[in-house]
Chain A
Amino acid sequence: MHPVRKQRLIIVLCVVLFSSAAVGLMAYALRGNINLFFPPAEVAAGKAPLGQPIRVGGMVVEGSVQRSADSLAVRFEVTDYQATVPVVYEGILPDLFDEGQGAVASGVLDEQGVLRATEVLAKHDENYMPPEVAEALEASKAKGMKGQGE
């Protein structure tokens, strides 16, 4: 084989090997680190996995936010008007978190169906709603109307 071609072949083989290693690494990293969004109705229906990182979002139920007296622990409920999911979290809530507003919590669901959140996100501004929440609410509204029609 021509030496230039041989060199090129070896380079290509090395690049392929290296890229496959990278793809393997990516797949491994992806497995543990992506999380799927579930609306509260699906969590209540038992469709969400326990012990795996997930995101749950909806409106924060009015009057459901309870703070601990001596720490930053907080408990609240999110709803899509079909079902509610209780969330516990310890830390500082985002500026725009409020009762009656949209929020997304990511964390792990425990045996009692409580989401142990490691992160809580709220909408960005007055008009903006987390897109997953907007969609979940719309789906739930559509379902509710169909329910009334039947």
Chain B
Amino acid sequence: MIPEFGHFALIVGLCLAVLLSVVPLWGAWRRNTAAMALAPGLAVGLLVFTGISFACLTIAFLQDDFSVEVVANNSNSLLPVYYKFSAVWGNHEGSLLLWALTLALWTAAVATFSRQLPLLMLSRVLAVMGFVAVGFLSFSLFTSNPFARLLPGTPVDGQDLNPLLQDPGLIIHPPLLYMGYVGFSVAFAFAIAALLGGRLDAAWARWSRPWTNVAWAFLTLGIMLGSWWAYYELGWGGWWFWDPVENASFMPWLAGTALLHSLAVTEKRGLFKSWTVLLAIFTFSLSLLGTFLVRSGVLTSVHAFATDPERGLFVLVFLALVVGGSLTLYALRAPAVNSRLRFEWLSRETLLLVNNVVFLVATLTVLFGTLFPLLMDAMGQGKYSVGPPYFNAVFVPLMALLIPVMGLGPVARWKRDSASRWKAELLLPAIAALLCGLTLPLLQGGDYNAWVALALVLAGWLVLGMLRDAWRRLRAAPDLLRGLRRTPASYWGMFVAHVGFAACVVGVVCTSQYSIERDLKMSPGDAQTLAGYRFEFLELANVRGPNYLADEARFTVTRDGEEIARLAPQKRRYLAQGSIMTEAAIDAGLFRDLYVAMGEPVGENGAWAIRLHYKPMVRWMWLGAILVAVGGFVTVADKRYRRQRVLAPDSDGAEVAHGASA
């Protein structure tokens, strides 16, 4: 009964979404206040019913209801409870439902927290989000119904969740990623609502900004978790593969980064308006494209289309509708919202423009690299693959170009600044960064690594420049506490995010340059020394887990005779499908990780292929990414986002005038 109830709730949700996308928009057109006022209620109703539907699917998983097809294919009675829970979104149908639920959550959040918005604007924003919800709910209902039953023919037990997904990281990775992905729909809805109204101003940017920042921060966390998961779960110590699925989440992040910086210019200076709107459309389109790439199966092969043409076609048509529709609207309306403001070349505006160009070019190169194999295959030019070297070759120079400008940005003034002031502010940090960056690699010993030196100089420039600027701000205040309080939260958010980015850069470059990786044949009793750490293979054991059997290799790691860690990597065989999984053992530290994974048994005497890694600074990358996300969340605490009612009078009159001129 419960799955049918969930199915029904999903249908009601779709009906509410249809109403939400039509009624308030009609109300906004006819200036019918009653119709517009329905929007928040409909948004909350959408959340309630999508939530019920999701809860029903969760119950089906927790109760091992194998008559539901999705449960039978992705769960097993032996599966631990918390993985049964995450199995809800560890499959196509369930993850789409999660997508829809996340969207409903964001829509209801906008309805709840934006009561101070002019009703006209609010109803348009919610209607646009309702339209997106219609797309995804009908996709879920018509092409990938999560509540489809296997009656008759209910299996006795389920086929189990893919062992790769049986991991704590994967419990929270998809929801976080979706919070980010889907959160950009808010920025998109604001942009479309503004285009519909013909009113793009600082107030619009101020409404849109906190939502964009939060979505972006969630996406940062989601990507970081995905990378961390790949590192310890895939068993070969890589943390970023430029895999199309990863790129699918990375592209909206890049475009979103450009968007939130461009929004800053629009809010503070009223510039780049059309550009910001275009970026908002572009960012959400990339989220949709990512969903399409991952969900249609087009990535494993262009021909997966043939096995399930309905799904791929549905998302493709929806994508075309959203992108085409919003770009058409943009083409019709954007000239009407043009700005005629000026700024000098030496100003924060120029620096943020450079940020935008770099991030946009980065997005496009990743997009090109991701789609190139698909295009070539579709045109019958053969089966190409584009590997990490391509992405590294274009991405690294772009980021190296970005950071010098990034160090200037926070110090620079809006509208007009002078080179002499920049020199006075930043000469000291620049010299200090150069000295630190050039000398620190010497500590590592061995060959001098120019790449590490470059990364340290750039990161030092970023951090020291920010510190100097923060110090200058705090010194201007009568005492430290008041200085801290007087500086707005958005400044501290930026501070933390930029420092996090610097940490991330240092982590990425150091771990890429200094990592030592060895694949070796080892038998119990053997020992190997890596970067001064002695790995001794003590014994081989058999271990039984809740739903798997495993071979476990037991290692001790010593340094100068002192025990550092005991590591026990496993090779697991999951019982339900007999699939084999590598479980790496990691001794984590702030300055280095020690990583041991088992390959396969080779030869006699219990010899195994063993993978030993020494990875310096690898944690900096993820800690940096966490700081970046924290920065994004902190900006939202800014006071000015709470004083909106006074600053945003109802726009009816102004809008009619605009409409006439457009």
A26 at the interface (CB under 8 A from B): yes
B542 at the interface (CB under 8 A from A): no
Tell me, in angstroms, the Cα distance from A71 to B236 when the chains sit together. Answer: 18
A82 at the interface (CB under 8 A from B): no
Residues of A within 8 A of B304 (CB): 131
Q: A18-B357, A71-B521, A92-B600 are in contact. Are A34 and B385 (CB under 8 A)?
A: yes
Tell me, in angstroms, the Cα distance from A3 to B235 when the chains sit together. Answer: 58
Q: Separation in Å of the B570 CB from the closest CB of chain A? A: 12
Choice from A18, A34, A92 contacting B386 with Cβ under 8 Å: A34
Residues of B within 8 A of A19 (CB): 357, 361
**B342 & A3 in contact (Cβ 8 Å cutoff):** yes
Interface centre among A14, A19, A34, A125 (most CB of B within 10 A): A34
**B303 & A33 in contact (Cβ 8 Å cutoff):** no
Complex A-B: 27 CB contacts under 8 Å:
A4-B340, A14-B357, A15-B357, A22-B361, A25-B397, A26-B365, A28-B393, A30-B386, A33-B389, A34-B372, A35-B387, A36-B384, A37-B383, A37-B385, A67-B603, A70-B521, A92-B609, A92-B611, A93-B600, A95-B580, A96-B580, A125-B579, A126-B577, A126-B578, A131-B300, A134-B301, A135-B301
B183 at the interface (CB under 8 A from A): no
Tell me, in angstroms, the Cα distance from A96 to B386 when the chains sit together. Answer: 23
A1 at the interface (CB under 8 A from B): no
Other A-B pairs beyond A22-B361, A37-B385, A135-B301, 19, CB < 8 Å:
A7-B342, A22-B364, A22-B398, A33-B386, A35-B385, A36-B384, A55-B383, A55-B385, A72-B599, A72-B609, A91-B519, A93-B599, A93-B600, A95-B235, A125-B577, A126-B577, A131-B301, A131-B303, A134-B301
**A95 & B342 in contact (Cβ 8 Å cutoff):** no
B353 at the interface (CB under 8 A from A): yes
Q: Which of B290-331 contact A (CB under 8 A)?
A: 300-301, 303-304
**A125 & B162 in contact (Cβ 8 Å cutoff):** yes
Minimum CB distance partner of A53 in chain B: B387
Q: Which of A1-57 contact B (CB under 8 A)?
A: 3-4, 7, 11, 14-15, 18-19, 22, 25-26, 28-30, 32-37, 55
Tell me, in angstroms, the Cα distance from A67 to B610 when the chains sit together. Answer: 15
9 interchain residue pairs of minimum CB distance: A131-B301, A92-B599, A29-B393, A37-B383, A33-B390, A33-B389, A95-B580, A22-B361, A29-B390
Minimum CB distance partner of B602 in chain A: A67
B582 at the interface (CB under 8 A from A): yes
Tell me, in angstroms, the Cα distance from A29 to B372 when the chains sit together. Answer: 13
**A72 & B384 in contact (Cβ 8 Å cutoff):** no
A99 at the interface (CB under 8 A from B): no
Minimum CB distance partner of A90 in chain B: B519
Tell me, in angstroms, the Cα distance from A19 to B362 when the chains sit together. Answer: 10
A142 at the interface (CB under 8 A from B): no
Residues of B within 8 A of A132 (CB): 383
B368 at the interface (CB under 8 A from A): yes
Residues of B within 8 A of A145 (CB): none
Residues of B with Cβ closer than 8 Å to A? 162, 235-236, 300-301, 303-304, 340-343, 353, 357, 361, 364-365, 368-369, 372, 382-387, 389-390, 393-394, 397-398, 519-521, 571, 577-582, 599-600, 602-603, 609, 611
Interface size class of A (residues with CB under 8 A): 35 or more
Q: Separation in Å of the A42 CB from the closest CB of chain B? A: 10
Residues of A within 8 A of B609 (CB): 72, 92-93
Minimum CB distance partner of B597 in chain A: A92
Choice from A26, A37, A67, A70 contacting B382 with Cβ under 8 Å: A37
Residues of B within 8 A of A15 (CB): 357
Residues of B within 8 A of A70 (CB): 521
Q: Which of A72-126 contact B (CB under 8 A)?
A: 72, 90-93, 95-96, 106, 125-126
Tell me, in angstroms, the Cα distance from A134 to B307 when the chains sit together. Answer: 14
**B303 & A35 in contact (Cβ 8 Å cutoff):** no
Minimum CB distance partner of A119 in chain B: B387
Tell me, in angstroms, the Cα distance from A67 to B385 when the chains sit together. Answer: 29
Tell me, in angstroms, the Cα distance from A129 to B109 when the chains sit together. Answer: 43
Q: Separation in Å of the B29 CB from the closest CB of chain A? A: 34
Minimum CB distance partner of A136 in chain B: B383
Tell me, in angstroms, the Cα distance from A55 to B301 when the chains sit together. Answer: 16
Q: Separation in Å of the B494 CB from the closest CB of chain A? A: 24
**A25 & B394 in contact (Cβ 8 Å cutoff):** yes
Residues of B within 8 A of A135 (CB): 301, 303
Residues of B within 8 A of A33 (CB): 386-387, 389-390, 393
**A4 & B368 in contact (Cβ 8 Å cutoff):** no
Tell me, in angstroms, the Cα distance from A33 to B388 when the chains sit together. Answer: 8
Residues of B within 8 A of A28 (CB): 393
Minimum CB distance partner of B340 in chain A: A4
Q: A22-B361, A34-B385 are in contact. Are A126 and B579 (CB under 8 A)?
A: yes
Q: Separation in Å of the B464 CB from the closest CB of chain A? A: 27
Residues of B within 8 A of A22 (CB): 361, 364-365, 394, 398
Choice from A11, A72, A128, A134 contacting B519 with Cβ under 8 Å: A72
**B393 & A25 in contact (Cβ 8 Å cutoff):** yes
Q: Separation in Å of the B460 CB from the closest CB of chain A? A: 26
Residues of B within 8 A of A25 (CB): 393-394, 397
Minimum CB distance partner of A132 in chain B: B383
Residues of A within 8 A of B602 (CB): 67, 72
Tell me, in angstroms, the Cα distance from A134 to B300 when the chains sit together. Answer: 12
Residues of A within 8 A of B357 (CB): 14-15, 18-19
Tell me, in angstroms, the Cα distance from A79 to B361 when the chains sit together. Answer: 42
Q: Separation in Å of the B596 CB from the closest CB of chain A? A: 12
Tell me, in angstroms, the Cα distance from A14 to B345 when the chains sit together. Answer: 12
Q: A33-B390, A96-B580 are in contact. Are A18 and B361 (CB under 8 A)?
A: yes
Tell me, in angstroms, the Cα distance from A36 to B599 when the chains sit together. Answer: 28
Q: A7-B342, A22-B398, A26-B368 are in contact. Are A35 and B393 (CB under 8 A)?
A: no
Q: A19-B361, A25-B393, A72-B519 are in contact. Are A34 and B600 (CB under 8 A)?
A: no
Tell me, in angstroms, the Cα distance from A25 to B401 when the chains sit together. Answer: 14
Tell me, in angstroms, the Cα distance from A6 to B602 when the chains sit together. Answer: 70
Q: Separation in Å of the B625 CB from the closest CB of chain A? A: 25
Tell me, in angstroms, the Cα distance from A7 to B339 when the chains sit together. Answer: 13
